[in-house]
Amino acid sequence: MVSVKIISKTTGRPMKSQKVSIGFLGFFRGFSETVYTDSNGETHFNNDPGEGTIYVNGNAVYRGQISGMKYVYI
């Protein structure tokens, strides 16, 4: 399981209703489902950890190792 928490750079508060997906590196990995953040700014994916890119509202916001809870500031 992989989780992502989206936080506003300007306010430091969690951002709800943000569209999040993950593109994993690797021939058979592909993309996760698209999930919207909850009131805590969190999304949860039933994917194994790995290298990839986190997309928020269609924009790449993080590239690298994705595992556990990943905090992303936008």
Across the chain, which has 74 residues, the per-10-residue mean pLDDT values are: 97 98 90 96 96 97 97 96
**What's the pLDDT at 74?**
94
Look up the pTM and report it. 0.92
The predicted pLDDT at position 2 comes to: 96
Q: What angle do CA 57, 36, 9 make, to 5 degrees?
A: 60
Residues 51 and 64 sit within 8 Å (Cβ to Cβ)? yes
Under 8 Å between Cβ of 30 and 47: no
Structural domain including 64 reads: 2-73
Residue 27 has what pLDDT? Answer: 79
Q: Which CATH number does the domain housing residue 35 bear?
A: 2.60.40
- The pLDDT of residue 70 is 97
Number of domains in the chain: 1
Token digits for 67? 């595992």
Tokens matching residue 44: 């949860």
For the beta carbon of residue 69, count every other beta carbon within 10 angstroms.
Answer: 11
CB atoms within 10 A of CB 56: 19
